[in-house]
Chain A
Amino acid sequence: MEAPEEYQGEPRRTFLAAIGALATGAAAALVPVAAGVAALVDPLRKRGPETSMVLVTKLSAIPDDGTPKKFTVRQDRVDAWSTEADAPVGAVYLRRADDGVAALNVVCPHAGCFVGLADDRAGFACPCHRSSFDLDGAVDDPASPSPRDMDALEVEVRNDDEVWVRFQNFLPGRHDKTAV
C-alpha cells in the first residue's frame, strides 16, 4: 500500500516508528489473548473419569428370556465445578447371555445417538441413521452406517446376584474402540 503523495517523513525514522508501533501494540494485545487462549484450551487437560466397576442392578431384574433391558448407571461424578455422589451418568443394556450377563453401552458407535430396541425386540436399531445391530450388539446389516459393533462393557456377577459393570464411553465414528 502506497503512502499518500503528500506524506513526508524520513524513511528510516518512519520505518523504526512503524516497527515500534507494531511491536508495542502486539505486545499489549498479546497479554489478554494469551490468558484467554490458556483458559479456552483448559478442557484439553481434562481426562475422562477413572473407570471402576459399579453395581448396576440385581440379576433377577434382567429378563430370563434373553431380551435386553435398559438400566441407569450411577456413579460419583465431577461435572466441572460440581461434585455429585451416585449421580446418573449413563445407561447400559443388560441381557442374559449363555455364560452370565452381557452389557452394551446404549450409545451408537456411529454418531452417538441413543440406540433403541428394534420393534421385533430381536436386535437394536438406532433411530438417527438406521444403524442396526443384533442382540449381541454386532452390526447385522451391510447397509448399517455404524463403523463397529455396539460397545460391550466389562460385566461381572458378584455375590450370586449383583451385576457390576465397568461403565465407559467410547469415541464414535471409528473402527476401533477407544475410550473417551
Chain B
Amino acid sequence: MESLLTWLDDRTGYRGLLKSALYERIPGGARWRYVWGSTLMFAMFVQFVTGIVLWAAYSANAQGAWESVYYIQNEMVGGWLLRGIHHYMAQVTIVLLVLHLMQVLIDGAYRAPREVNFWFGLGLLGLVMGLSLTGYLLPWDQKGYWATKVATSIASMTPVVGPSMQALLVGGADYGHHTLTRFFALHAGALPAGIVLLIVGHVYLFRRHGVTPPKEAAEKPDGWFWPEQVLRDGVACLIVMATVLGLVLWTGGAHLGAPADPTEPYAAARPEWYFMFLFQWLKYFPAGWEVVGAQVIPGILVGVIAAMPILGKWRLGHRFNLGFAGALFLGIAMLTWVAYQEDGGDPEFVEAKEDAEAIAARVEELASSGVGIPPAGGLAMLRDDPLLQGPLIFQGSCSSCHTYSGHDGLGNVLEEESSAADLAGYGSRDWLAGLLDPDRITTPDYFGGSDHARGAMARFVTRGVAGFSPEQQEELAKVIVALSAEAALPRQAEADASDAADIVEGRALISSESINCTRCHTFGDVATGDDGPVLTGWASREWMIGMVTNPSHPLYYGDNNDRMPAFGDEGILTGHEIELVVDWLRGDWIGAPGVN
C-alpha cells in the first residue's frame, strides 16, 4: 500500500499538494468566524450532487418538465427529499452568501490587497442569483412560470437591446420548449461552470492573502487549518445540512404547483422570498420607469458595492461602506417585510393562493389516479377534468339562468333570482322528488322562473300529484327511483343496484294509467305523447349532452323550449366543453363518489 502511494506521489506529487492544502498556517489560530466560506463550499457541493441526480430524471420541455418533476417528487424513492434538499439549500446559500458578504465588509476584508477577491465574491453572488432565477422556472408550474415571465419582461425593457435580449433568453417570441432548454443549459451548464471558475479563483486568492484576523487574534499563537479549523468547518457544515434537512422535513419538501398555463390567470405569482424586495420595489415605479427601478437603480447600487474596495482606501471610506451596506440591507429587509404585509392583508391574494393550492392538490389527485398523466402533459389533464372545468363553463354559460346549489358554480351567490332550475344533483332521486313535489315545482329551484311554471308539467304536479292517493304516492316513489336510475349517476350506482326490484316496478308504472308519465313523455317503446322531453335515458350523459347541444330538438323540449340556447348547434360551446359541464353536473369525475 505504502509503496503504491509512493509510486502515485512520484507521478503526481499529491502529497505535497495535500500538505499545502491542509497545513495552512492560520494567524491567531482557528476560529468559528472563519467557517462561512467553507459552509458555502459545502452548499455548492450539495447543489452539485443533488442537481446532477435531479438532472438524471428531469426533462426540459413544455410537456415534460412539470411531469418529470412530478415524477421525481411523487414516484421516485427519495425524490421528494432530493428535490427538497436542492430547493432549500439554494435558499440557505443565499443567506450564507449575505452573511459572508456582511462579515467581509465588517472586518474590512475587502481592502487591498483583497480587492480582486471581493469582486470574485460579488460575481459569485450574481451567479447564484442567476441560478435561483433560472431554477425557479424549471418545474414549469404556475408559480415559476408567471414569476419568471416578470423577470424576462423586465429584461425586454432594456433600451435598444431589450427585445433581442428577451428573445435570446426565452429562445423565441414566447415561452415554450426552447425557454426550458435554454434556462436549463444556463442552470445546469453555463452558470455552474462560471461558479466553479470563480470559486477556484476565490480560493486561490484567499490562500494567497490568508484570513483577515480580528484584532484580539494578534496575541494568540498561530494555528493550523488541519485539523483545528476543519473541525469547526465540519461542525458548521453539519449544522447547515441539519437546518436544510429540518426545513425539508418540516415543510414536506419543495412545493410543486399546477402545471404552467398561459390561459389561466395566476394572481398568486410571486418570486422566491429573497427576490420579494425587488418585486415590492417595482410597485413604486409608474409605467415607463420600470427600467429605472429594475435596472438603473439596482445597477448603481451594485456599482457602489463593487467600488467599495476603492472607496475603503479613504479614511471615512470604510465607514461609508458600512453605512451604505447597512442602509441597503435595512432597505431590502423593509421592502421584503412590506411585500409580505401587503400580500397577507390582501384578501384577493390570499384567495388566489388558496385557489392555486386547491388546483395543485387536484392535479396531484388526477396524476396519482390510475389514469396517469397523458402524453400531452399535465396541463392537458387539467383541461380535461370535469371537476375543474365544469364550474368554469357553468359560470360562463349556464349561470345567467341556472344556479348550482344557489350559486354560480364558483361559489358566488347570485343577487337576482334564477330564471331556470337549480342543477345541483340533477338526475338524482332527491332532485326528481323535488320536481314532483307540488310545493316545490313552481319555486325558482325548479320551474319557478321559467315559462314551464305555467306549463303542463307544473299543472300535472300541482293539481294531479297534489291529489294522489297514498297508493299512488307509493307508486310515484318507485317511479322516481326508476326514472333516476335512467340517469345512471355514478354516485347513485350502488343504490340503483340494490333497488333493482323497485326499478323494475317503477319502469312499468311510468306508463301505467295511475301515474301515466307517457301521456306526454316518450319512455322506451311507449310513445303515446311527445310534448315533453323523452324519458328514455333521462339525465344520462348522452341525454344531457343532446339536451345542451339543442334543447329545441323534438326529443327534448321541442317547441316548448323556453329560452335555452342550443349551445352545441349554435357553436356557443364546443362538444368537449358540453361533455365537461355535463360530467361535472353528473358528478362523473376522477375521485367523485362511485367513480373508479
Which of the candidate stretches B189-197, B238-246, B352-360, B470-478 sits at the interface with the other chain?
B238-246
Cross-chain contact A39 with B71 (CB below 8 angstroms)? no
Q: Flag whether B444 is at the interface (Cβ < 8 A).
A: no
A89 at interface, CB cutoff 8 A = no
A60 contacts B by Cβ under 8 Å: no
A1 lies within 8 A of B18 (CB) = yes
Whether A49 sits at the interface, judged by CB under 8 Å, is no
A 1-39 contacts with B by CB, 8 A: 1-4, 7, 9, 14, 17-18, 20-25, 27-29, 31-36, 38-39
Q: How far apart are A22's CB and chain B's nearest CB, in angstroms?
A: 8
Q: How far is the CA of A7 from the CA of B221 in the complex (A)?
A: 12
Interface residues of A in 26-69 (CB under 8 A from B): 27-29, 31-36, 38-40, 42, 45
Partner-contacting stretch, out of A75-83, A100-108, A126-134: A75-83
The dominant DSSP class at the A interface is helix
User: With A14-B227, A39-B53, A82-B67 known to touch, is A24 a contact of B374 (CB < 8 Å)?
Assistant: no
A9-B224, A28-B241 known; A81-B76 Cβ under 8 A: no
- Cα-based distance from A1 to B6 in the complex (angstroms): 10
29 pairs, A vs B, C-beta closer than 8 Å: A2-B19, A9-B224, A17-B228, A20-B231, A20-B234, A20-B235, A21-B234, A24-B237, A25-B230, A25-B238, A27-B241, A28-B234, A28-B237, A29-B42, A31-B85, A32-B46, A32-B85, A35-B53, A35-B81, A36-B53, A38-B81, A39-B54, A39-B57, A39-B72, A40-B56, A78-B372, A82-B64, A82-B373, A83-B373
Bound-complex Cα distance A80 to B59 (A): 11
Within 8 A of A (CB), among B167-191: none
- 0/1 per residue, B44-62, Cβ < 8 Å to A? 0110011011101100000
Which chain A residues border B245 with CB–CB below 8 Å?
A: 31
Q: Is B375 an interface residue (CB 8 A)?
A: yes
- In the complex, whether B113 has a CB less than 8 A from a CB of chain A is no
Interface residues of A in 134-151 (CB under 8 A from B): none
Q: Report the Cα distance A22→B472, complex, angstroms.
A: 88
Chain A residues within 8 Å of B204, by CB: none
Chain B, range 437-456, C-beta contacts under 8 Å to A: none
Tell me if B396 is interfacial: C-beta within 8 Å of chain A: no
Given A21-B231, A42-B79, 16 other A-B contacts at CB below 8 A? A2-B19, A17-B228, A18-B227, A23-B234, A24-B235, A25-B230, A25-B234, A28-B238, A28-B241, A31-B245, A32-B82, A38-B78, A39-B57, A39-B82, A81-B68, A81-B373
Q: In this complex, what residue of B is CB-closest to A31?
A: B241
Say yes or no: is B15 at the interface (Cβ < 8 Å to chain A).
yes
Contact among A25, A36, A84 with B375 in the assembled complex (CB-CB below 8 Å): A84
B42 engages A28 (CB within 8 Å): yes
Q: Are B230 and A38 in contact (CB under 8 A)?
A: no
CB-CB contacts of B450-471 with A at 8 A, as 1s and 0s?
0000000000000000000000
Shortest CB-to-CB span from A34 to chain B, Å, is: 8
Does B226 touch A at the CB level, under 8 Å?
A: yes
Give the docked Cα–Cα distance between A26 and B75 (Å).
28
Residue in chain B with minimal CB distance to A3: B23
Do A24 and B371 form a contact, CB below 8 Å, given A3-B23, A4-B23, A39-B57?
A: no
Question: If the complex has contacts A42-B79, A84-B374, are A32 and B234 also in contact, measured as CB distance less than 8 A?
Answer: no
| B160 contact set on A, CB distance < 8 A | none
Answer yes or no: B146 CB below 8 A from chain A CBs: no
A39 and B224 within 8 A (CB)? no
Identity of the chain A residue whose Cβ is nearest the Cβ of B68 in the assembled complex: A81
Find the B residue at minimum CB distance from A29.
B45
B372 near A17: Cβ-Cβ < 8 Å: no
Whether the Cβ atoms of A81 and B78 lie closer than 8 Å is: no
**Closest 5 pairs (CB-CB, A-B):** A83-B372, A24-B234, A38-B78, A81-B71, A18-B227
Q: Is the CB of B70 within 8 A of A81?
A: yes
Give chain B residues whose Cβ lies under 8 Å from the Cβ of A14: 227-228
Which of B354-386 touch A at CB < 8 Å? Answer: 371-375, 377
Closest chain B residue, CB of each to CB of A84: B375
Cβ contacts under 8 Å, A87 to chain B: 375
Which B residues between 76 and 121 are near A, CB-CB below 8 angstroms? Answer: 76-79, 81-82, 85, 89
Give the shortest distance, in Å, between A5 (CB) and chain B (any CB).
10
Q: Which residue of A lies closest to B240 (CB)?
A: A28
In the complex, the chain B residue whose C-beta lies closest to that of A23 is B234
- Complex: A44 Cα to B427 Cα, angstroms: 49
> Are A32 and B49 in contact, with the CB atoms below 8 A?
yes
Q: Is the CB of B71 within 8 A of A80?
A: yes
Partner of A82, one of B23, B76, B85, B374: B374
Minimum distance in angstroms from B494 CB to a CB of chain A: 28
The answer to whether A39 and B234 have CB atoms under 8 Å apart is no
Q: Shortest beta-carbon distance, B381 to chain A, in Å?
A: 10
- Among residues of A, the one whose C-beta sits closest to the C-beta of B241 is A28
Q: A35-B81, A42-B78 are in contact. Are A18 and B226 (CB under 8 A)?
A: yes
Nearest Cβ in chain A — how far from B382, in angstroms?
15
B67 touches A81 (CB 8 A): yes
B234/A83 in contact, CB under 8 A: no
Which B residues are CB-close (under 8 A) to A28?
A: 42, 234, 237-238, 240-241
Q: Is the pair B231, A24 in contact by a Cβ cutoff of 8 Å?
A: yes
Instruction: Pick from A20, A39, A80, A83 the residue with the most CB of B within 10 Å.
Output: A39
Take A7-B23, A42-B78 as given contacts and tell me if A82 and B46 are in contact as well, using a CB distance cutoff of 8 Å.
no
Determine whether the beta carbon of B227 is less than 8 Å from that of A21: yes
Chain B residues with CB below 8 A from A38, complex form: 77-78, 81-82
Question: Which of B18, B231, B233 counts the most chain A CB atoms within 10 A?
Answer: B231
Chain B residue nearest to A19 (CB atoms) is: B227
Closest B residue to A40 using CB positions: B53
Chain B residues lying within 8 Å of A7, measured Cβ to Cβ, are 23, 224
Are B373 and A21 in touch, CB under 8 angstroms?
no
Cβ distance B165 to chain A, nearest Cβ, rounded Å: 33
Q: In whole angstroms, how far apart are the Cα atoms of A119 and B255 in the complex? A: 58
CA A87 – CA B78 in complex, angstroms?
Answer: 29
CB neighbours of B224 from chain A (8 A):
7, 9
CB closest chain-B residue, reference A34:
B78
**Complex contacts, B371 vs chain A, CB 8 Å:** 83
Q: In the docked arrangement, what's the CA distance between A166 and B136, Å?
A: 45
Given contacts A24-B231, A32-B46, contact A82 B375 (CB under 8 A): yes
Q: How far is the CB of B236 from chain A (nearest CB, A)?
A: 9
B29 CB, min distance to chain A CBs, angstroms = 11
Most A CB within 10 A of own CB, among B71, B75, B77, B237: B77
Residue of B nearest to A30 (CB): B241
Distance, CA A158 to CA B373, complexed state (A)? 33
Contact between chains at B78 and A17 (CB < 8 Å): no
